[in-house]
Amino acid sequence: MLFGLVRSLMQGWVYELYVKPQFFFSFYGFENLPRVGETLVYIIYAMAIISAILISIGLFYRFATIGFFLCFTYLELYDATNYLNHYYLICLFAFLLIFLPANKSHSLDVKLGFTKASDTVSAWMIYLIMAQIGIVYTYAGLAKLHPEWISEAMPLTIWLNERAHWPILGTLFSWEYSPILFSFFGAFYDLFIFWFLLFKKTRPWAYAAVVVFHLLTWSMFNIGLFPLIMITSNIIFFSASWHKRVLGRLGGMPKSAVYARSVPPGFVLYMCIQLILPLRFLFYNSQLLWAEEGYRFGWRVMLVEKSGLAHFTLKTSDHTAFEVDNSKFLTPFQEKQMAIQPDFIVQYAHYLGEYYSQQLQRKDLRIFVDAHVALNGRVSHPFINPKQDLLLIEDGFKTKQWIITHPDL
Amino acid sequence: MIKKSVSIISLSLILFFSCKPKKKENNTLCDSDYNQTELLSNYAEHLIIPGLKTFEESLVSLQVIWQRYASNAASLKELQDSFFETYVNLQKIQCFDFGPMESHMFIEKANSFPLNQGKLAQSIASANINFSEPERFDIGFPALEFLIFGLSESNIDSFKSDQTKQYIGAILSDLVQRIMTINTDWVSYKTTFINAQGTDAGSSLSLMVNALNKSFEISKRDRVGIPSGVLTLGLKQPELVEAPQSFLSKKLLFTNLEYNKLFFQGKYGKVNGEGLDNVLAHIKAVKNDLGLSNSIEDNYDAMLNKIDMFPGSLKEQVQSVNSSVIDLYALMSKQVVSLKSDMPSVLCIAITYLDNPSDSD
């Protein structure tokens, strides 16, 4: 985490993502989240970094985990444009860490006497992390069981082709059967790796597969921290005695053992939410990959290749019409993300409505969008009903009737 | 356990072969066996290198005429004619803004408009000829245009003041220097360019598609959208067209879009070489039951016809019958969907000149 935070800071991403934009997209329910501005964002960033350091060395553990969870989650809620599945996963792990006694051994808290050392951890705590990982993989796998992924081999055809000039692996990537093989293998891996990790006999092989798979995807795609998170967190599947052996070799650390105890009801609830949340798309009668209703928080990782254009037109009751210059309000990255996500289009339209009704001093504005999205190597297709006044739409959980159906899906 | 793994493996094999790869009708470049060598050679050898060379000659001759004019050996008319020709030629190379041309920031230094007149006066007075400063709107062709065309007869003396002469001379020699370096760089870059095949962000195809789009969008926004008021709440600003003093704006816009089209077609002189249109035809890209390349070409023609009908300059057109300029803008918006969304998608190319400050997941 520390690595990720420092990296973002060094690359100037904090400025690009939190300071430069003048408008921020929100997650549903967080529309009124205060955006604290440049100085405080940097302070919160610093606090997240300090908490991450404290957690690693095991100092002021409870305080640090709460601090990290709050800071990191706040930064992720700041602008929904930046949503990535693995940032969401970090938020979840950070939340779970608060309740885990990860400072009971090998920590400064123990050395300094802030907490009593303990060699044991309740089994449910381990199972909890395992289950969380299992949910991520399995849902990622289920999401791939889609004709686009399995039989069209999209978008892997595009992505592999981009890397066809790589030394050695390039030849493999450009083989005509590779996209379908990779697609199939990817789905298979995500669906079953959890089970292979779970069983003792297959575990070493499965973990080797984890390392190879994530290193390969890391080198192929621009996916940041995700491979690192998965490679390290999957170590939890190994038994306590294995951990002890390895840690022992690294410098004679104390031992820990596992015993079972009953599970607190709060975490049963947590798991139920985690199981149900990715399935909420079932309540929508729309094309998941296209309309993205119930798409986020569902572990739909690297699933589609999309690009879109959205031009907004402002109309007054006397039939004058103007186009909005998006670059005046959004950064190029925000514009790109907005154009492919219907709820962002509506949020932005409402922002434009407020801005212009104030600037023009009139209340009769209507806003329409001409939006086109190209999906998985196809020509683009109209995305939003151009006759729909976006100011009349309130974002919510109802099926978005104003999204135009894609004929191919 | 072994039994289990055998059954899992066989199950997966069955699954795999039940959806065995069919030869897909996806119509994308990444599914096709298209060889890019002829395409890239055509662009390098017949469009880009000769185009940049012609422009260099044109610019050098402008510099020579300027020097003669400054020493009273050429007339203002000769200077204006030469400037006009060179400005038109500049439009013909706008799509080449990648590789050497991008690294020497040629378009930015040569043609950032609209001109900041107040800044220009200051820069002349203080002899600020540090052209490496970013975001200067008081240099390049817009500044020259104002000085060569914009000053009335009565002000012509100030135009000939030593400070002004020095400033104009500095602009010209800076640009000449840049274009010469670019042409030298292309000698070695040519091989790199032809060899960078594929569809990744660094491939030549991707660079070309991105440059074509960048140039087209500048025309749409700055040459048409802003002056006509489409993008500024209906507030017409005819003085913000390119070349507002000299009535060249129509010819410049026409040439710009004409060469955008020729670049798309890979066409030079009367020869229609291997171009992006041929790639789209090769992969049978179709939009609304029409060939994508045909519909793009038709739309270029519609835009060019529209401009051709303007009786005077673009500036006058905005002042008189702005609705036709707004119609032109609508045609350009339609074209952006094809150029920036349809074409990159079927060519498996990403629009990258708008950079991502983030990872993906």
State what percent of residues in chain B have pLDDT above 70: 88
Cβ–Cβ gap B359/A161 under 8 Å: no
> Is B344's Cβ below 8 Å from some Cβ in A?
yes
Closest-CA distance of chain A to residue B165, Å: 37
Do B274 and B39 form a contact (C-beta atoms < 8 A)?
Answer: yes
Q: Chain B residues with CB inside 8 Å of A320's CB?
A: 234
- Determine the average pLDDT of the residues in A23-49: 93
The contacts of residue B263 (CB under 8 Å, 6+ apart) are B47, B95, B208, B212, B275, B276
pLDDT at B22: 45
The contacts of residue B74 (CB under 8 Å, 6+ apart) are B65, B68
Distance between terminal CA atoms of chain B?
34
> Is B154's Cβ below 8 Å from some Cβ in A?
no
Cβ–Cβ gap B26/A377 under 8 Å: yes
Task: Give the torsion through C-alpha atoms of A45, A47, A49, A52, to 10 deg.
Answer: -140
ipTM of the complex: 0.88
Domain span holding position A34: 1-115
Q: How many CB pairs under 8 A join A and B?
A: 152
Residue A109 maps to a domain: yes
- Determine the average pLDDT of the residues in A235-258: 71
Q: Mind listing the pLDDT tens digit for each residue in A162-203? A: 898 888 888 889 888 999 999 999 999 999 999 999 999 999
Residue A298 maps to a domain: no
Cβ–Cβ gap B199/A158 under 8 Å: yes
Q: Are residues A137 and A271 in the same domain?
A: yes
The phi, psi pair for A120, rounded to 5°, reads: -120, 160
> Is B9's Cβ below 8 Å from some Cβ in A?
no
Residue A397 maps to a domain: no
A119 confidence band (pLDDT: 50, 70, 90): confident
The 3 state secondary structure assigned to chain A is CHHHHHHHHHCCHHHHHHHCCCCCCCCCCCCCCCCCCHHHHHHHHHHHHHHHHHHHHCCCHHHHHHHHHHHHHHHHHHCHHHCCHHHHHHHHHHHHHHHCCCCCCCCHHHHCCCCCCCCEEEHHHHHHHHHHHHHHHHHHHHHHCCHHHHCCCCCHHHHHHHCCCCCCHHHHHHCCCHHHHHHHHHHHHHHHHHHHHHCCCCHHHHHHHHHHHHHHHHHHCCCCCHHHHHHHHHHHHCCHHHHHHHHHHCCCCCCCEEECCCCCHHHHHHHHHHHHHHHHHHHCCCCHHHHCCCCCCCCCCCCCCEEEEEEEEEECCCCCEEECCHHHCCCHHHHHHHCCCHHHHHHHHHHHHHHHHHHHCCCCCEEEEEEEEEECCCCCEECECCCCCHHHCCCCCCCCCCECCCCCC
Residue A69 maps to a domain: yes
Interface of B with A in 242-301 (CB under 8 A): 285-287, 292
Q: Chain B residues with CB inside 8 Å of A302's CB?
A: 360-361
Chain A CA closest to residue B18:
A151
Q: What is the maximum alpha-carbon separation in chain A?
A: 81
Count Cβ neighbours within 10 Å for each residue of B122-140 and write b for 16 or more, e otherwise.
ebbeeebbebeeeebebbb
pLDDT at A252: 46
Q: Are residues A36 and A169 in the same domain?
A: no
CA-closest candidate to residue B253, choices B318, B166, B177, B180 = B318
Cβ–Cβ gap B340/A301 under 8 Å: no
Q: Mind listing the pLDDT tens digit for each residue in B304-335? A: 999 999 999 999 999 999 999 999 999 999 99
CA-closest candidate to residue B60, choices B141, B180, B204 = B180
State what percent of residues in chain A have pLDDT above 70: 97
Q: Are residues A213 and A348 in the same domain?
A: no
Q: Mind listing the pLDDT tens digit for each residue in A376-396? A: 999 999 999 999 999 999 888
pLDDT at B20: 45
Q: Are residues A246 and A98 in the same domain?
A: no
Interface of B with A in 193-232 (CB under 8 A): 197-201, 203, 221, 225, 229-232
pLDDT at A259: 56
Q: Are residues A56 and A156 in the same domain?
A: no
pLDDT at B155: 58
Q: Are residues A132 and A93 in the same domain?
A: no
Most confident listed range (A119-128, B26-35, B202-211): B202-211
Chain A CA closest to residue B201:
A162
Closest-CA distance of chain A to residue B109, Å: 22
Output the six-digit token pair for A219: 């080198």
Q: Are residues A125 and A264 in the same domain?
A: yes
Chain A CA closest to residue B235:
A322
Q: Mind listing the pLDDT tens digit for each residue in A286-308? A: 999 999 999 999 999 889 999 99
Kindly report which listed range (A244-258, B215-229, B270-284) carries the lowest average pLDDT score. A244-258
CA-closest candidate to residue A4, choices A87, A80, A128 = A87
Output the six-digit token pair for B109: 């230094």
- Determine the average pLDDT of the residues in B27-49: 93
B361 confidence band (pLDDT: 50, 70, 90): low
- Give chain B's domains with CATH numbers: 28-346 (1.20.1420.20)
> How many Cα atoms sit within 13 Å of B254 on the Cβ side?
15
Closest-CA distance of chain A to residue B170, Å: 33
Q: Are residues A259 and A217 in the same domain?
A: yes
Q: How many structural domains does chain A have?
A: 3
Mean pLDDT of chain A, nearest integer: 90
Q: Chain B residues with CB inside 8 Å of A323's CB?
A: 225, 230-231, 329, 333
Residue after which a domain boundary falls, among A284, A313, A336: A284
Q: Are residues A332 and A252 in the same domain?
A: no
Q: Are residues A88 and A169 in the same domain?
A: no
Closest-CA distance of chain A to residue B66, Å: 39
Q: Are residues A345 and A266 in the same domain?
A: no
Residue A238 maps to a domain: yes
Mean pLDDT of chain B, nearest integer: 89
Chain B CA closest to residue A310:
B337
pLDDT at B60: 98
Residue A299 maps to a domain: no
**Cβ-count burial of B143 within 10 angstroms (0-12 exposed, 13-18 middle, 19+ buried)?**
buried
Residue A408 maps to a domain: no
pLDDT at B218: 94
Q: Are residues A131 and A270 in the same domain?
A: yes
Q: Mind listing the pLDDT tens digit for each residue in A301-343? A: 889 999 999 999 999 888 788 999 999 999 999 999 999 999 9
State what percent of residues in chain A have pLDDT above 90: 64
Residue after which a domain boundary falls, among A115, A136, A162: A115
State how far the Cα of A406 lies from the Cα of A306, in Å rounded to an integer.
13
Residue after which a domain boundary falls, among A115, A150, A176: A115
> Is A192's Cβ below 8 Å from some Cβ in B?
yes
Closest-CA distance of chain A to residue B340, Å: 8
Residue A296 maps to a domain: no
Cβ–Cβ gap A201/B287 under 8 Å: no
